[in-house]
Structure 1
Amino acid sequence: MVGENMIHIGIIGGTGVYDPNILENVQQDEVLTPYGSVSYKVGDFAGKSIAFIPRHGSKHSIAPHLINYQANIWAMKKIGVKIILATAAVGSLNLDMKLGDFVLIDQFIDFTKNRKSTFYEGGKRKVVHVDLTTPYCSALRKKILAVAQENGIVVHNYGTYVCTEGPRFETPAEIRMFAKFGGHLVGMTNVPEVVLAREAEMCYATIAMVTNYAAGISSQPLTYGEVFHVMNANTEKLKKVLMNTIKCIDFEADCSCQQALKEYGGFKL
């Protein structure tokens, strides 16, 4: 039952991933953070308690630039989560990354403009400069890769994610620029989520699903319906990867992600 196990694993569901019923004994809960209250669901799977937060809200009512990233990550940390599996719908700048393919992002480029991207803004919490040479947990990415390959699911083990402010789609001129900068994928939500997770000393990895080709890559205009069509067609595969990865996770294993602020005395709630 929920409550008998500590909650060490969290899922942050992106576009199309709102259903926590992949878990058993699901309950609603709420936690207060310095950035506001966060509602989340918690349930059981494979003998583990899992926290679930739909990034855009249960009805996709929160725009990318208005998501309370600080509150979400703080809440996960406060309830005991050590490992976060995130999902994201992305546009592809690379024709090798096709519709429905999964991508294990390993780098990002930040083109957001107005977001709070740190827990450390001076004052009582001082200033911290977190290392992001390897922004996404290597050990977690390896587990996800192995699971996807074992299940015959197409997955790319690299990808530079360009994060834009949204909520509009990008122009073809912007996409050409992002490609020249080395971007493979474009989305609106992974930053600052990945940065905050590292500051909070949590293992974090994103399973990105290609739901559309970016503007100018495809000859067709972009539509939101296209994103949902591809997402819905591949949601079961995504759930399979998530749940089989959870089975493989050893949350007691040591990881450098969980010591990211060691020189600063560690992350303090």
Structure 2
Amino acid sequence: MGTMIGIIGGSGLYEIEGLQDATWQSVASPWGDPSDDILTGTLDGVKMAFLPRHGRGHVHSPTTVPYRANIDALKRIGVTDVISVSACGSFREDMAPGDFVVVDQFIDRTFARDKSFFGTGCVAHVSVAHPTCPRLGAACLEAAQDSGITVHQGGTYLAMEGPQFSTLAESKMYREVWGCDVIGMTNMPEAKLAREAELCYASVAMITDYDSWHPDHGEVDVTQIIATLMGNADKARDMVKKLPALLGSDRAPCPHGCDRALEFAILTQPQNRDAQLVAKLDAVAGRMLGA
């Protein structure tokens, strides 16, 4: 199977530059409409897909992003590797605005989102002990370094519901008690759904601010964030251009088993499975369900 890199672009990143045969295509999903059409094409001989998480023009809030439809649509068109690019705040002095972090852990504090493709009539439990793919994360790290970006390897991302930013008390707790490194609103349940869909997933968090804990920076200012976002988006585009050469067009099975995450996850016996739900799972879990 060949590689197809799917980029889910966050705030400030709404396109991939240099795509050959670039086409915006509508993808129908049984889980609803994705955030937007998907931009597909090739870059250095590798198939690429780009989906703006919030939609062009930034129409979806972090809560209303159709996460299930987005992941399903990417899997449906043949994406094998998903790279999330998103804005975040930093809890670490040495992780400064303008820096990138290749996230490897999450604490999920979201509560108003559909977090699984599975449910009544087809129950499955996947492991997200290690929610990102080390192979894909290493490629993102190298691509960022090659682009001259200050990038940090590894970090814990606190996923909050939003859309409001943290209180000072929350910010201090996430930083001092829970030991988180960055905070954002969109990587959950995205990472969990990618694992259920047997897609390799990596998260590149682009730091825009110090949240509200930093005594010298005060509360989060959206004007300041937007200014940093624009610079980060330029860096992200440079990073994305380096990925095809690092990942290549030929794809071997994931050495960490991301593409086999459902192997022992589905518990509902075939005779007890809900036919309508199984039909909706055709792209996500067809390999295991025979849908």
TM-score grouping bracket, smaller chain normalisation:
over 0.9
**Counterpart position of 2:60:** 62
Cα 1:28–1:148 change in 2 (3 A) is closer
Q: Are 2:210 and 2:217, in contact at CA under 8 Å, matched by a contact in 1?
A: no
TM-score, length-scaled by structure 1: 0.92
Aligned-residue identity in percent? 38
Number of aligned positions between the proteins: 263
Post-superposition Cα deviations, 1:97-153, rounded to whole Å, max 9, x if no partner, equal: 001001000000011011101111121xx1111111211000011112222223332
Post-superposition Cα deviations, 1:226-254, rounded to whole Å, max 9, x if no partner, equal: 11111212322211111102221135121
Structure with greater strand share of residues: 1
Q: Are 2:211 and 2:219, in contact at CA under 8 Å, matched by a contact in 1?
A: no
**Counterpart position of 1:261:** 262
**Counterpart position of 1:94:** 92
Deviation at 1:51, TM superposition (A): 1.1
Q: Are 1:14 and 1:88, in contact at CA under 8 Å, matched by a contact in 2?
A: yes
Q: Structure 1: state its 5+ residue gaps.
A: none
Deviation at 1:264, TM superposition (A): 3.8
CA RMSD of aligned residues (A): 1.8
Distance in 2, Cα, partners of 1:137 & 1:199: 13
Aligned-partner residue type, residue 257 of structure 1: C
Post-superposition Cα deviations, 1:67-94, rounded to whole Å, max 9, x if no partner, equal: 0000000000111111011101000011
TM-score, length-scaled by structure 2: 0.86
**Counterpart position of 1:137:** 133
Distance in 2, Cα, partners of 1:232 & 1:219: 20
Matches within 5 A, 1:1-269: 8-38=4-34, 39-123=37-121, 126-179=122-175, 180-217=177-214, 218-250=216-248, 251-255=250-254, 256-264=257-265, 267-268=285-286
Q: Which runs of 4+ in 1 moved over 4 A?
A: none
Q: Structure 2: state its 5+ residue gaps.
A: 267-283
Deviation at 1:259, TM superposition (A): 0.6
Deviation at 1:28, TM superposition (A): 1.5
Distance in 1, Cα, partners of 2:243 & 2:221: 31
